[in-house]
Structure 1
Amino acid sequence: MDAPPHVLILPFPAQGHVKPMLTLAELLCHAGLHVTFINTDHNHHNLRRSSSAPRPHRLRFASIPGVHRPNITDLFFSVMDNFKPKFRDLVVSMGGPPPTCIIADGIMAVGAVEVGEERGIPVICFRTQSACSTWTYLHLTKLIEDGEIPFSGETMDLPITSIPGLENLFRRRDLPSICRIGDLQNPIFQFFVTQTSAMTRASALILHTFQNLEAAIIAKLGAIFPTIYPIGPLHALLKAQITDHPSPSDSGSLIPQDRSCLTWLDSQPSRSVVYVSFGSLAKLTRGQFLEFLYGLVNSGKPFLWVVRSDLVLEEDRVDETPEELMVATRERGCLVDWAPQEEVLAHWAVGGFLTHSGWNSTVESILAGVPMICWPQIADQQVNSRCASELWRIGVDMKDTCDRSTVEKMVRDLMEDKREEIMKSTAEISRMARDSVEKGGSSHSALEKLIEDIKSMKFGGHVSVSDK
C-alpha cells in the first residue's frame, strides 16, 4: 500500500510568513496529507509558547538551528548565509523515501529549489503576498533596465511605467521598499532579485489571494508559472472547511495574544472603534508614536491600539507621555501588547483599521469588510497600500506622512466624511472574498486542485518528526 503524500512546508521565519503557511499546513492535513512544518528553533519555541490551538495529528514539526536573528535585516543575512546547507542536512537526515513535494516560501526559493533539484523533489513556491506585489517583484530587473530604479527621494510621485498591467497605478513611492535603496548591489536588494528569479524554477505558484480580487495580474503570472493556485483568504478557508476548529485566530501567532481587548470592544458602540496595528516588525520613533496618539485622540473616536513592547525604537524610548494624552487614552482608548486580530476585525464595534498594510492584515480586513488607513513601512506594504486605495477603493493611503493633523483627518474621512463611498466597494470585495472560500468558490476549488495535484505526484514517504 502506498504511503500517503508527505509535504515539507518551509516558511520564511517571520510572523507574516509563518501564519499563512501554517494555516495551509492544517488544511492539507485535514485533506489527509502528512505535513512536516519547518521552523527555526526560535520560532518553534515561540509558536508552542504563544498558541493554544491543538494541532492535527498528521502535522509534525522540525526546526533548523542558528538561523534566527533579532532584527529583520540580520535575519535576511542569516538566511543568505546559513539556510541552504542546514535545510539540505535536515532533508537528508529524514532518511527513507523523499517527501512528495516541498512547499517553500517565495523568499526561501534559492535553497529550496536547489535542494529539491538535487534530491528529485518537486518544489511549489508560496508567495505570501498579493499577485500585484509578486508581479512587481518579478519586474525588478526590468525596472533597472528601463532606468526607473534607483531614484532619488525628491521625486517620489513620478509614475512607474515598466510593469505591464500596472502602468497607470504606481508612483515611485508605491514600489516595494527595497526600491528606495540607492545601491542596487546592496545585499538585501540582491537577495530579493535572486530569490524571485529562483522562484520561477518552481513547479507551481501558490498565492494568498482570490481570483476576483486580482484576476488580471494572476492571468499575467500564468505566462511565467505553469500552474497557479490562488487560495486566499486562508483563515476563511480554514473556518469554512474545519467548522469545529477550536481557536483559529492564534493558530499561527508567534506572540501571545491579549484577549481582554475583546471585552473592551463589547462595551463600545457599533462601528465606532478604530483598530490600530502596525504588525510584528514595524518600528516607530518616539515622535511618530506621539503624532499617532495625538491624531487618534483628536479624532474623538475610540481606539484599540496594539503597542508591542518593541514598537518604539529603543534609543527613542522615554517614560513621559503628556498628561492630556494619558487622560484621553484612559477615557476612550485601549492599548494591548498583541491582539487576536481576526476576531478584532470581525467584531461589530470595529469600524476602521489603521494598518501597516502587511498582506495578512490586508486580507483579514478585506474579509471582515473593514476599510483601512494605510501607513506602510517595508517590503510589499507600499504596493498593498496603493492597491487598497486606488485599485480596490477599500481604504485611504497615508504613506510617507505622519503628523497628527493628517492622522486626525484620515480617521475622520474613514469613519465619517468618506465612509459611505469607501464602504460601498469594501462591502462588495468582502462579499467576493467570502464567496471564494465556499464550496464551488474560486479559492475552495484552487485548494482542492492543489491537494489533488499533490496526491497525483509520485508518492514519497512520511517520516515522523518529533513535536519537540
Structure 2
Amino acid sequence: MENLKPQPPHVVFLPYPALGHVKPMLKLAELLSHATFHVTFINTEYIHHRLLPSIDLDAFHRRFPNFHFLTIPDGLPPHHTRTVADLFSSIGSATTSALRQLRVSEDLLCRTTTCIIADGIMSSSAVIAGEEFGIPVLAFRTFSACCTWIYFHLSKLIEEGEVPLQDQDMDKLVTCIPGLENVLRRRDLPSICRVERVGDPILEFFIKEARAMLRASALILNTFDELEAPVLSKLASFFSKIYTIGPLHALSNVRINGDRSPLASTTGILWKEDQGCITWLDSRPSESVVFVSFGSVVKFTHDQMLEFWHGLVNSGKPFLWVIRPNSIIGGDGSSGQLLMELQERTKGKGLIVSWVPQEQVLAHGAVGGFLTHGGWNSIMESTEAGVPMICWPAMFEQQVNSRFVSEVWRVGLDMKDTCERSIVEKMVRDLMEAKRVEIMKVMGVVAKQAGESVKKGGSSSLNLDTLIQDISSMTPPSSRAE
C-alpha cells in the first residue's frame, strides 16, 4: 500500500466579531500558518467586509498560502447598528447554525479539522460544534489572566451580594475572589457587574460563556508568565493546559515580521491609519508626547470630550489624540462641528487624527505616556514598548485592567469613574513629571520581561512551540479509527 504523506494540521479559528478580539486571534492564526498549518479563519460577514480594505490579499496569501477566510452571518440585518447587547443575543445561535451548515457545504468540521480555537466568549457555540463533530476545542480568552479568573467567579460575586452593584460603597474591597482579596474594590469589577438586577442578559451571557470555557481542552492567553504568574497558578486548577503566548504582536514581529513589512501580515485594523502622525512625532523631543487613544468602541459626550481636551491642553504637554469618526455622541451634526473646532484649537499644542498605527506610535521615542481606555491589546502593546499608562476604563474588563496597571503591576495610573479637566491635567503631569521616575523604574523591568518572553527560549516563545507541537499530535476525525 502506498505511503501517504501526512497532512499538516488544520485549525479553525472562531473569533468574536469585534476589533479587540479579531486582532489577537489573527496574530495567532498567522503564527500557526507560518508554522505550515492549514488555517480557516471564520469572520462574520460584517466584520470581514470592514477588514478587507486593510489587507493586501495577494501579498497576504503569498506569505500565508494555506490561510483561508470564511464568513458567516451574525444574525443581524446588514444595516443594523450592532450594539453590544444585540450581538450578544444573536451571535450564539447564529454561529451554531452556521457551523452546522459549514459542516455540509465545506466539509469543514467533518473530516479535516484538527481543532477549533474559539474566542472565550464564543465558547458555547464552539463547544457544541466540537462535541457534536468530535473535534477538540481550545478557548482563546483575548484578555488578561486576572480578568479571566474574575469572570469564572461571576456567580460567586452574585452569591456574596457584590453584584449587582447598586448604591453601594464602591471603594469597599471585594474579598470573595481567591487570590485577589486585597486587590479589587467594587468599582474595579468588570462593567457587566454594574447592572440593575441579577438575571441581566449581558451578565448571564458572560456567566454562560465562562462555564462553557471550562469544557474546552485548553486555555490560550495573550499574556506572559512573568506578568501574571500568581493568577495563572490559580487558573491551572481549572485547565490542565494553559498556553501563555503574549504579547502576541511582539511574538508575531519576532517570528514573522522581522522586516516589519505591512504586506507580511494583517494588523486587523478596521480604519485607515494616518501615517502623517509619525512625521509629526519625528519633530518632537524624546518622551515628551502624550499619546491618547480610547480604542475602537468607546464613545464620548460633548462634555467628556471637552474635559479631556482642556485637561490635556492645561497640562502643557504636546499630545497626539486619536478621535475616531462618529465617536462623539450626537446625531445633529454638532459632533462633527465640535471635532473640527478641537482640531483647529489644538494646532500648536498637539495633533488630532482619526486612527494611527498604534504599535508604531508607542514604539516612537517621542512618546512618553499613553492615556488609554485600558483594553488588553493596548496594555500589551504599551507594556512591551515600555510606555507608562493612564487608564480611563469604559467597559467590560477595562475596569479590572486599570486597577492592575496601577496597583499590582505599578506601570501606570488609574483614572476610572472621573472625567474632569483638573484631574486629567494632574494625572498627565504625574505621569510625565511627578511620578515618572518611580513608574518608569518598574516599567523598565516589565518591558524587559515582555521583550524577553517572545525571544527564542523565552516563556511565550516556548509556550507557542508547545502549542504547535500539541496541535500537531492531535488526530483529525478523518484519521481516527472507526
Q: TM-score, normalised by structure 1?
A: 0.95
The yes-or-no answer on 1:246 pairing with 2:254 is: no
Matched residue, 1:94: 106
Contact 1:34–1:58 (CA under 8 A) maintained in structure 2: yes
Contact 1:98–1:119 (CA under 8 A) maintained in structure 2: no
CA deviations 1:31-60 (Å, max 9, x no partner) are 111100000111111111123472411111
Structure 2 residue identity aligned to 1:275: F
- Cα distance in 1 for partners of 2:112, 2:456 equals 33
Shift of 1:184: 1.7
**Superposition map of 1:130-209 within 5 A:** 130-209=144-223
Matched residue, 2:303: 287
Matched residue, 2:224: 210
The yes-or-no answer on 1:28 pairing with 2:32 is: yes
Matched residue, 1:111: 125
Structure 2 residue identity aligned to 1:21: M
SS in 1 for 2:111: coil
Matched residue, 1:127: 141
SS in 1 for 2:348: helix
What's the % identity of the aligned pairs?
56
Structure 1 residue identity aligned to 2:68: R
- Cα distance in 2 for partners of 1:444, 1:4 equals 21
Contact 2:42–2:69 (CA under 8 A) maintained in structure 1: yes
Shift of 1:323: 10
Shift of 1:254: 2.0
- Cα distance in 2 for partners of 1:36, 1:244 equals 25
- Cα distance in 1 for partners of 2:340, 2:16 equals 42
Matched residue, 2:275: 259
Shift of 1:186: 1.1
- Cα distance in 1 for partners of 2:476, 2:465 equals 18
Shift of 1:316: 7.5
**Superposition map of 1:65-464 within 5 A:** 65-67=73-75, 69-70=80-81, 71-95=83-107, 97-242=111-256, 243-247=258-262, 251-315=267-331, 318=334, 319-321=336-338, 328-459=345-476
Structure 1 residue identity aligned to 2:221: L
Residue 317 to residue 412, structure 1, CA distance change in 2 (3 Å): farther
Residue 316 to residue 270, structure 1, CA distance change in 2 (3 Å): farther
Shift of 1:234: 0.5
Q: 5+ unaligned residues in a row in structure 1: which ranges?
A: 463-468
CA deviations 1:346-395 (Å, max 9, x no partner) are 00010000000000000000000000000001111000000000000000
Shift of 1:146: 1.7
- Cα distance in 1 for partners of 2:330, 2:67 equals 38
- Cα distance in 1 for partners of 2:6, 2:214 equals 31
- Cα distance in 2 for partners of 1:13, 1:413 equals 37
- Cα distance in 2 for partners of 1:306, 1:323 equals 13
- Cα distance in 1 for partners of 2:47, 2:340 equals 38
Residue 279 to residue 439, structure 1, CA distance change in 2 (3 Å): same
**Please, which of 37, 58, 67 is the counterpart of residue 59 of structure 1?**
67
Residue 141 to residue 323, structure 1, CA distance change in 2 (3 Å): closer
Shift of 1:253: 1.2
The yes-or-no answer on 1:15 pairing with 2:27 is: no
CA deviations 1:316-338 (Å, max 9, x no partner) are 86255499965540112111111
Structure 1 residue identity aligned to 2:60: P
Residue 7 to residue 321, structure 1, CA distance change in 2 (3 Å): closer
Matched residue, 1:465: none
- Cα distance in 2 for partners of 1:249, 1:213 equals 27
Q: 5+ unaligned residues in a row in structure 2: which ranges?
A: none
Shift of 1:258: 1.4
SS in 1 for 2:326: coil
Structure 1 residue identity aligned to 2:92: M
Matched residue, 1:43: 47
Shift of 1:90: 1.8
Structure 1 residue identity aligned to 2:99: F
Contact 1:5–1:460 (CA under 8 A) maintained in structure 2: no
- Cα distance in 2 for partners of 1:274, 1:87 equals 45
SS in 2 for 1:334: strand
- Cα distance in 1 for partners of 2:423, 2:132 equals 54
SS in 2 for 1:164: coil
Contact 2:135–2:476 (CA under 8 A) maintained in structure 1: no
Residue 309 to residue 323, structure 1, CA distance change in 2 (3 Å): closer
Structure 2 residue identity aligned to 1:191: F
Shift of 1:402: 0.1
Structure 1 residue identity aligned to 2:250: A
Structure 2 residue identity aligned to 1:90: L
Structure 1 residue identity aligned to 2:261: P
SS in 2 for 1:90: helix
- Cα distance in 2 for partners of 1:377, 1:94 equals 40
SS in 1 for 2:60: coil
Contact 2:190–2:395 (CA under 8 A) maintained in structure 1: yes
- Cα distance in 2 for partners of 1:127, 1:46 equals 23
- Cα distance in 1 for partners of 2:424, 2:270 equals 29
- Cα distance in 1 for partners of 2:28, 2:284 equals 34
- Cα distance in 1 for partners of 2:358, 2:192 equals 27
SS in 2 for 1:314: coil
Matched residue, 1:466: none
Root-mean-square deviation over aligned CA pairs: 1.8
- Cα distance in 2 for partners of 1:63, 1:322 equals 35
The range that moved more, 238-247 or 193-202, is 238-247
SS in 2 for 1:305: strand
SS in 1 for 2:347: helix
SS in 2 for 1:54: helix
Residue 61 to residue 414, structure 1, CA distance change in 2 (3 Å): same
- Cα distance in 2 for partners of 1:322, 1:155 equals 37
Shift of 1:244: 3.5
Q: TM-score, normalised by structure 2?
A: 0.92
Contact 1:276–1:306 (CA under 8 A) maintained in structure 2: yes
Contact 1:4–1:459 (CA under 8 A) maintained in structure 2: no
Structure 2 residue identity aligned to 1:268: R
- Cα distance in 1 for partners of 2:467, 2:12 equals 14
The range that moved more, 110-119 or 81-90, is 81-90
